[in-house]
Structure 1
């Protein structure tokens, strides 16, 4: 599993610019994503990478449960509906992850969770939307 955890991360430059303007503290997972990501133009992002406003499924390694999530900005977050803020530990840990890789995050009580990005169902960049 360690090999998957240290896999490459990609982020498009527009997502970086927008995230950088958010006026809120970043969780450690987001700092790690920004420190370890390769920043590229939106049109060059691989279609199997979680970007902002992507819809995807994850499989939690502890329980085996599958969840459909959308990575969004804080103003659009509705965790009960699967809209996960990039400023949440889980959202930040998924940003830039490629399908098939593992994300790791800590809950508020310090418990570690792991999930595999199973499939990208929709990615704005893959559909030709480079500005959303």
Structure 2
């Protein structure tokens, strides 16, 4: 994830509650996300810049080497009903996406090697609706 990761305190509180309830089998995901959140710049939800990926944002991005764009919603694990259009924040790609700005690059590690993508746009960010 980027060093300039931006997260609202509300998303941080919700993520910490989710992480507290994870099973021991999910310790690696918990520790990885906690490590990233330790370095996040915290902002008020209503002060969140509109070009930052937040929880429940619907995001367009392109994985390096792919010809097609992907559009997914960054989701909490318990909101993963329609998994084809949702990306769990507990996945390596989901962790990499959180807090990235439009135009920014995200990188993550998978068993098949490193991956990189560019955030092309945010179709929906929930914070403006709460302003």
Q: What is the CA RMSD across the aligned residues, in angstroms?
A: 1.9
Q: TM-score, normalised by structure 2?
A: 0.84
Change in Cα spacing, 1:72 to 1:6, as seen in structure 2 (3 Å) is: closer
Contact (CA 8 Å) 2:107, 2:115: kept in 1 or not? yes
CA distance in 1, matches of 2:38, 2:94: 16
Distance verdict in 2 for CA 1:79–1:32, change over 3 Å: farther
Cα offset for 1:32?
A: 4.2
User: Which 5+ residue runs of structure 1 have no aligned equivalent?
Assistant: none
The alignment's TM-score, normalised by the length of structure 1, stands at 0.83
Residues 1:87 and 2:90 are matched in the alignment: yes
How far 1:15 moved relative to its partner?
0.5
Deviations 1:59-95 (A, max 9, x none): 1112243100100110112574221111111111100
After TM superposition, where is structure 1 displaced by more than 4 Å over at least 4 residues in a row? none
Number of equivalences: 124
Unaligned runs of 5+ in 2: none
Whether the 8 Å CA contact 1:30–1:93 is kept in 2: the answer is no
